[in-house]
Structure 1
Amino acid sequence: MTQRAEIRVTYRIETAGSPEAMAAKIASDQSTGTFTDLPGETEALKARYAARVISVTALPPTPAPALPQPGALAGTVYHRADAVIGYPLEAVGTDLAALMTITVGGVYAARGLSGIRVMDIDLPPDWACHPGPQFGVAGSRRLMGVAAGPMIASIIKPSLGLSPEETAEVVKTLCVAGVDFIKDDEKLMSPAYSPLEARVAAIMPVIRDHEQRTGKRVMYAFGISSADPDLMMRNHDCVVAAGGNAAVININSIGYGGMSFLRRRSALCLHAHRNGWDILTRHPALGMEFRAYQKIWRLLGVDQFQVNGIAAKYWEPDESFVKSFDDCLTPIFSADDRALPVVCSGQWGGQAPETYARTGQRLDLMYLGGGGIHGHPGGAAAGVAAIRQAWAAAEAGIPLEDYAKDHPELAQSLQKFRK
């Protein structure tokens, strides 16, 4: 018998009952079965279309449930396990709506669970039908003209409130400072005080002028997100018509359909902001690991993926960042479907040595500084210089304090930002 093609999903299960029985229940409920035996659910039908439990790996139990369990008896032990369930490709196909409905959406509703988390999704080669990144790591380097080393980036600050003309002045300062990439804040799309068309019209002449004078074309990513795909495409076309080459996409806000619609028509490098992912992942026994989450968005066409950073200003632990960084650079089907990891969130250069060490001394990354550049005592140019010096020290294996002795920008940065 020919082995069937399968989508394999790893779930972290917590239950007062048997994890094996719960895994079997999920496999049944999410494919051919229901709460009772069915006359039409023949062995032949199940062999072809039913999900199956491939493995159940026990984890240490816990005396308290991860999720509230009304009526639970004192002394109940909650068993935990990682269960791998295989869903036949023939039953799911290669449509994302089907994948999320069958393997993810209904799982959280199962009775008897005190915790359920999607840890990974392993897709068969048939899923390579999705377009994936148009530019990815190599294309991002080419568009920025950075052949090697980290790509140094910044973000418009203040995040909100600047007029198009004021924003253009900040862009000019950052271009002169020597960044490779600048982006709109994810919260900046097309507000009344800074409509996208006016912002594009003000910023792109600055980008072109800098390129003509220096030969360096700084990549600028405009916020084009909209829940209306047609409006988002008009925003896209506005950027392209002005000679722009990148866009910030709030992926959770536009959804899978919006991203698919955009990618298949896009000429821009798509920089993904994952705001809202935290809803899916902050509870360790609920939601979805970034490893599973990011595969879907990469297949849909994300080129660059923000993943926070070491000692980030947000909640995420360093270990989670390191895993996210590695996930972005792990091919799904080929090296071309990797997304450029964007190290961000409170980065100022002081985290460069640990970032370099803990990510395997890999330099396929964008290092994004906001306040760490704009808030430098010597101004934005000194802020960019300090970050580049920090990365040079990290690559050379020289402690930042030693490197700072003859690099005043880094010395100022250490004095202000190191806590």
Structure 2
Amino acid sequence: MSEPILVRYRLLGCPDEATALKKGESVAVGMTVGSWTDLPAAEQEAMRPYKGSAVASGMEAGGDAWVEVAYPAGNFPARLPALLTCVFGKLSLDARVQLADVTLPPTFAAGFPGPQFGIRGVRERAGISGRPLLMSIFKSGLGMSLEDFAQAFAEQADGGVDLIKDDEIVFDTRAFERIRAVAPIVEARARSGRPLIYAVNLGGPVEELTTRARCLVEAGAGALLLNVAAYGFDSLHSLAAAKLGVPLLAHPAVAGAITGIDRHLILGKFMRWCGADLVLFPGAYGSLAIPQSDAEAIKAALVSASKLHRRSWPVPSAGIHPGMVARLQADFGNDYVVNAGGAIHGHPLGVQGGVVAFRQAIARVSGGMELAGADEPELKAALEKWGIAE
């Protein structure tokens, strides 16, 4: 018999381990064979290979209980919609039950594509080693003329970012025109030995995403951005399985509306399994701060060792400014992406000044220097405006 899929549930208000184990057994039966004790012996024997079972229980530090259920891996295919439906589908309607973790056996996990490039592959494409990558968020893309778009793109590129990504709300039909408009800038950076990756927002009907993605890549997109929770994890899976030849960025838009599932699953494991090379998520500081423990769990899910799936880039986001770089690097090491929008476009010395300020902050921290007392004009101006995160 193959190894089972292990699913941990958090049982809110459950008083003790014994009650949790009993609840877990009820869940295990209800989510697989439906009933058990009322079945004749012959039917039980026939259904046994498909039956889940509660295998462990305990109490969390916060006072809630947990129970772990083992599900036969053969009950469903290696696609996230099937997995989630079979282990949390109707349970998700019970506010007292939360999905706390999912552990896949290697044979089942191999059915998920994982990132095509991962941390090492994206580093190779960007030509960067030994430091975090720097990505700027293209703000105010809506309604801009192609000339203005190219000019704003050039300002970010000239400042020295490694990646530029579309805003996730840009769903107009001019993606191909934007790629052509900035192609000379991208090509000039490539000739200089400092590649620049332009991540284009992928939109359109779900059934057309892969075809459209291929067309965007052929047109020159250096990466693709997908609003994964809005389009569905299976859309990401299909794009990754198509091996499009460019990195896939996963945006967390709409993910906050998914309740009852721990963040390290939604923004960590599921994204990595389904093929995201870079995963944006709210950091533990910034404008949409999440608990530090959640951010650490997401990071661990994205970068933990795996013989099957490459590591995904953690991209802590929302309200990131140069004064946070020291803390970011302390939390994430070198393998993360500094993702900035407002602190670049709203820098007192302009867009290029905003990019340079981040580069200076990264260089200082990577070189073992403190941000406090920085005398570089761009970084100094940024720290005076936004301060230094503790």
Query: SS state of the match for residue 110, structure 2?
Result: helix
Contact kept, 8 Å, 1:32 with 1:50, in 2: the verdict is yes
Query: SS state of the match for residue 247, structure 1?
Result: strand
The CA distance in 2 between the partners of 1:9 and 1:190, in whole Å, is 40
Aligned twin of 1:99: 83
Aligned twin of 1:241: 218
Q: Could you say if the C-alpha distance between residues 57 and 225 of structure 1 is closer, same or farther in structure 2, counting changes exceeding 3 Å? A: same
1:368 to 296, 320, 339: 339
Aligned twin of 1:72: none
Does 2:165 match 1:183? yes
The CA distance in 1 between the partners of 2:299 and 2:153, in whole Å, is 28
Contact kept, 8 Å, 2:282 with 2:289, in 1: the verdict is no
Question: What displacement does 1:314 show?
Answer: 1.3
Aligned twin of 1:207: 186
The CA distance in 2 between the partners of 1:263 and 1:311, in whole Å, is 30
Does 2:305 match 1:301? no
Deviates more, 1:290-299 or 1:214-223: 290-299
Aligned twin of 1:8: 6
Q: Could you say if the C-alpha distance between residues 292 and 9 of structure 1 is closer, same or farther in structure 2, counting changes exceeding 3 Å? A: farther
The CA distance in 1 between the partners of 2:76 and 2:220, in whole Å, is 41
**Residue type of the partner of 1:123?**
L
Question: What displacement does 1:120 show?
Answer: 1.1
The CA distance in 1 between the partners of 2:14 and 2:282, in whole Å, is 35
List aligned pairs for 1:317-336, cutoff 5 A.
317-334=291-308, 336=309
Question: What displacement does 1:22 show?
Answer: 1.4
Contact kept, 8 Å, 1:295 with 1:332, in 2: the verdict is no
Aligned twin of 2:97: 116
Question: What displacement does 1:290 show?
Answer: 2.0
Aligned twin of 2:240: 263
1:344 to 317, 329, 340: 317
Does 2:2 match 1:23? no
Question: What displacement does 1:16 show?
Answer: 5.6
Question: What displacement does 1:36 show?
Answer: 7.1
**Residue type of the partner of 2:7?**
V
Identity %: 27
Does 2:372 match 1:390? no
Question: What displacement does 1:102 show?
Answer: 0.8
**Residue type of the partner of 1:155?**
I
Q: Could you say if the C-alpha distance between residues 279 and 47 of structure 1 is closer, same or farther in structure 2, counting changes exceeding 3 Å? A: same
List aligned pairs for 1:121-160, cutoff 5 A.
121-126=102-107, 127-160=109-142
Q: Could you say if the C-alpha distance between residues 116 and 41 of structure 1 is closer, same or farther in structure 2, counting changes exceeding 3 Å? A: farther
Q: Could you say if the C-alpha distance between residues 60 and 155 of structure 1 is closer, same or farther in structure 2, counting changes exceeding 3 Å? A: closer
The CA distance in 1 between the partners of 2:342 and 2:61, in whole Å, is 42
Aligned twin of 1:75: none
Instruction: Kindly provide the CA deviation profile for residues 62-105 of structure 1, in whole angstroms up to 9, marking residues without a partner as x.
Output: 6xxxxxxxxxxxxxxxxx21111100112234343321111121
Q: Could you say if the C-alpha distance between residues 316 and 48 of structure 1 is closer, same or farther in structure 2, counting changes exceeding 3 Å? A: same
Q: Could you say if the C-alpha distance between residues 372 and 11 of structure 1 is closer, same or farther in structure 2, counting changes exceeding 3 Å? A: same
Contact kept, 8 Å, 2:88 with 2:99, in 1: the verdict is yes
Contact kept, 8 Å, 1:204 with 1:242, in 2: the verdict is no
Root mean square deviation of aligned Cα:
2.3
**Residue type of the partner of 1:97?**
P
1:354 to 316, 327, 331: 327
Q: Could you say if the C-alpha distance between residues 236 and 44 of structure 1 is closer, same or farther in structure 2, counting changes exceeding 3 Å? A: same
Question: What displacement does 1:141 show?
Answer: 0.6
Does 2:365 match 1:379? no
Deviates more, 1:154-163 or 1:216-225: 154-163
Contact kept, 8 Å, 1:165 with 1:199, in 2: the verdict is no
Aligned pairs, number: 383
List aligned pairs for 1:23-102, cutoff 5 A.
23-34=24-35, 37-39=38-40, 42-45=43-46, 47-59=48-60, 80-102=64-86
**Residue type of the partner of 2:387?**
R
The CA distance in 2 between the partners of 1:366 and 1:278, in whole Å, is 21
Q: Could you say if the C-alpha distance between residues 4 and 128 of structure 1 is closer, same or farther in structure 2, counting changes exceeding 3 Å? A: closer
Aligned twin of 1:166: 148
Does 2:205 match 1:227? yes
Query: SS state of the match for residue 368, structure 1?
Result: strand
Q: Which runs of 5 or more structure 2 residues have no equivalent in the other structure?
A: none
Q: Could you say if the C-alpha distance between residues 94 and 239 of structure 1 is closer, same or farther in structure 2, counting changes exceeding 3 Å? A: closer
Q: Could you say if the C-alpha distance between residues 211 and 289 of structure 1 is closer, same or farther in structure 2, counting changes exceeding 3 Å? A: closer
**Residue type of the partner of 2:3?**
A
Aligned twin of 1:415: 384
Q: Could you say if the C-alpha distance between residues 205 and 100 of structure 1 is closer, same or farther in structure 2, counting changes exceeding 3 Å? A: same
Q: Could you say if the C-alpha distance between residues 134 and 57 of structure 1 is closer, same or farther in structure 2, counting changes exceeding 3 Å? A: same
Question: What displacement does 1:236 show?
Answer: 1.8
Q: Could you say if the C-alpha distance between residues 315 and 159 of structure 1 is closer, same or farther in structure 2, counting changes exceeding 3 Å? A: farther
Query: SS state of the match for residue 49, structure 2?
Result: helix
Instruction: Kindly provide the CA deviation profile for residues 336-361 of structure 1, in whole angstroms up to 9, marking residues without a partner as x.
Output: 521111122111111111112233xx
Query: SS state of the match for residue 286, structure 2?
Result: coil
The CA distance in 1 between the partners of 2:188 and 2:165, in whole Å, is 18
Query: SS state of the match for residue 54, structure 1?
Result: strand
Q: Could you state the TM-score of these two structures normalised by the residue count of structure 2? A: 0.90
**Residue type of the partner of 2:279?**
F
Q: Could you say if the C-alpha distance between residues 293 and 176 of structure 1 is closer, same or farther in structure 2, counting changes exceeding 3 Å? A: closer
Q: Could you say if the C-alpha distance between residues 270 and 308 of structure 1 is closer, same or farther in structure 2, counting changes exceeding 3 Å? A: same
**Residue type of the partner of 2:331?**
R
